[in-house]
Amino acid sequence: MYVAVKGGERAIDNAHAWLAEERRGDPAVPELSTAQIREQMTLTVNRVMAEGSLYDPDLAALAIKQARGDLIEAIFLIRAYRTTLPRFGSSLPVDTGAMACDRRISATFKDLPGGQVLGPTFDYTHRLLDFMLAADGDVPVAPKMPVDPAPVPHVMSFLNSEGLIAQETCDGTPAPDLTRAPLELPAARALRLQALTRGDEGFVLGMAYSTQRGYARNHAFVGELRIGSVPVEMEIPELGFSIEIGEITLTECETVNQFTGSKTEPAQFTRGYGLVFGQTERKAISMALVDRALRWEELGEDDQGAPAQDAEFVLYHCDNIQATGFLEHIKLPHYVDFQSELELVRKLRRDAGAVDRQEAAE
C-alpha cells in the first residue's frame, strides 16, 4: 500500500532526537563547554561571527557546539538569531588608526613608525603535527614586551602625503544596510564591502585568487595588515555626546595596487580594502583583492569579463547561507515536477519513435 507520504511528523521528531544524540557523541568523553570552544577554537568563532554578522563570541561558540562544528550551519544559527534583534542605531565609524594592534605588518615598507609586529600568526610555523598537543601538555608562557605607547599610523597615510595613492573621501552618505533593504544593482562600494565582509570565506578567497592568476589581475601588495581591538562608540541623543559601548577585535587589510592611470585618473596607486570581525586575515586580504577588482568601473579600467569584476555575479553568490539553502533544497521532494518531466520525456520519445517508424516504412 502507498504510505510514502505518511508519517512525516514522527520521522521529523525521531530525526531530531537522533541528531541530538549524535551531537553529543560518546557520553564517556567529557562534554565540550562553550567556554572551551570560545577560548580554544577562536578562529572558528571569529569566522562564525564575521559571516554571521554578529559580534558575540559566546553565542558563536554556542552555535558551533549546536551545529556539531558545521560552520555554515553555525553561521546560519547566528544569522537567524541576529535578524530578530532590535536595532538601536548605528555606531560611529571605528577608528582603526587608533587600534591596539596585536599584529601589524606591511609588505611594502621594511620599517615604519609603529614597527612590524608579527603577533600570534601561523605564518612561520612549520606545518608538522604536534603530537604533544594530543597529550594535554601545558603551554609555556610567551615572552612579553612593554607596549610602545607611540601611535601606529596607517601605512597608507605615508603614501597619501605624497599624493601617490588615490584619496578615498567620505561623502557623508549614510551607510546602507544589506540586511534591511533588498540588494539592488548597481551597488555602491559601501554596500559591496558590506556583502563581502559577511560573504563566504571560501568564495571570497577563490575570487581573490582568480584575480592573482590573471582574471582581472590588479597587482596587489599588502600595504598593511593589522589585527587588534578598537573601541566602539555610539552617540546617545539624550546625552548629546558619544560614549564607548564596547570593544571589538577587527582585522583590517589595505592593499596597494599598481595603476598606470586611465582617461580619467592620473598614474598612482589605488587601494583595495578589507575589514572583518575577529582575527580573520585570510578573509580580510581576500576581501581587499575582490574589492579592488570590483572597482574597475569607477577607476575607468577595462572590463575584462573576469568573474571577480562582475559585481552582480560576486554579490549574488558570495552569501553562503543563501547558497547552501538553495543548493540543499534540491533534496526536498520534487515528485510533482519530476512527474511532469517524466511525462514529457516519454511523450518526446514516443513522438521520435513514431517518426523513426514512419521513415522506416517509407
Partner 1 sequence: MTDYNFAYLDEQTKRMIRRAILKGLAIPGYQVPFASREMPMPYGWGTGGVQVSAAVLCPEDTLKVIDQGADDTTNAVSIRRFFERTAQIAVTTATADATVIQTRHRIPEEPLRDGQILVYQVPIPEPLRFLEPRESETRKMHALEEYGLMHVKLYEDISRHGHIATAYAYPVKVADRYVMDPSPIPKFDNPKMEMAAIQLFGAGREQRIYALPPFTRVVSLDFEDHPFVASKADHPCGLCGAQDSYLDEVIVDDAGGRMFVCSDTDYCAGRQVDGHRGRDNKEDAA
Nearer to partner 1, 18 or 109 (CB): 18
Nearer to partner 1, 28 or 181 (CB): 181
Q: What are residue 255's phi and psi, to 5 degrees?
A: -100, 150
Nearer to partner 1, 35 or 80 (CB): 80
Q: Work out whether 235 is an interface residue with partner 1 (CB under 8 A).
A: no
| Structure-block grid coordinates of residue 71 | 560552520
Nearer to partner 1, 135 or 185 (CB): 185
Question: Edge-to-edge, what's the strand order for the sheet holding 270-277?
Answer: 100-105, 220-236, 241-257, 270-277
Nearer to partner 1, 260 or 322 (CB): 322
Q: Work out whether 316 is an interface residue with partner 1 (CB under 8 A).
A: yes
Distance set, CA 295 to CA 70, 186, 205, 272, 310 (Å): 33, 12, 17, 9, 10
CB of 148 to partner 1, least distance (A): 43
The two beta strands, 241-257 and 270-277, are: antiparallel
Please list the alpha-helical segments (H only) found in the chain.
8-24, 34-40, 42-52, 57-66, 71-82, 155-161, 189-197, 201-212, 281-294, 311-317, 320-328, 335-361
Q: Work out whether 327 is an interface residue with partner 1 (CB under 8 A).
A: yes
Binding residue (CB under 8 A) for partner 1 from 26, 184, 238, 302? 184
Considering only residues 200-219, where is the footprint of partner 1 by CB under 8 A? none
Nearer to partner 1, 39 or 177 (CB): 177
Which region, judged by CB under 8 A, interacts with partner 1, from 200-208, 228-236, 268-276, 321-329?
321-329
Which region, judged by CB under 8 A, interacts with partner 1, from 34-42, 148-156, 231-239, 327-335?
327-335
How many C-beta atoms surround the C-beta of residue 178 within 10 A? 20
CB of 113 to partner 1, least distance (A): 43
- Which residue is associated with the grid cell 594592534? 101
Q: Work out whether 8 is an interface residue with partner 1 (CB under 8 A).
A: yes
Considering only residues 62-121, where is the footprint of partner 1 by CB under 8 A? 76, 79-80, 82-84
- Identity of residue 104: R
Q: Work out whether 343 is an interface residue with partner 1 (CB under 8 A).
A: yes
| Structure-block grid coordinates of residue 55 | 559580534
CB of 319 to partner 1, least distance (A): 9
Helix (H, G, I), strand (E, B), or coil: what is residue 271?
strand
Rounded to whole angstroms, the Cα distance separating 69 from 23 reads 9
Nearer to partner 1, 197 or 251 (CB): 197
- Identity of residue 50: A
Distance set, CA 43 to CA 146, 269, 279, 303 (Å): 26, 32, 7, 36
Nearer to partner 1, 82 or 282 (CB): 82
Binding residue (CB under 8 A) for partner 1 from 333, 358, 359, 362? 333
User: Nearest CA to 276 among 206, 191, 196?
Assistant: 196
Q: Work out whether 6 is an interface residue with partner 1 (CB under 8 A).
A: yes
Considering only residues 163-182, where is the footprint of partner 1 by CB under 8 A? 179-182
Nearer to partner 1, 52 or 223 (CB): 52
Which region, judged by CB under 8 A, interacts with partner 1, from 123-131, 143-151, 158-166, 315-323?
315-323
| Structure-block grid coordinates of residue 155 | 601605512
DSSP summary character for residue 224:
E
Binding site for partner 1 (CB under 8 A): 1-2, 4-9, 11-12, 76, 79-80, 82-84, 179-186, 312, 316, 321-322, 324-330, 332-337, 339-344, 347-348, 351
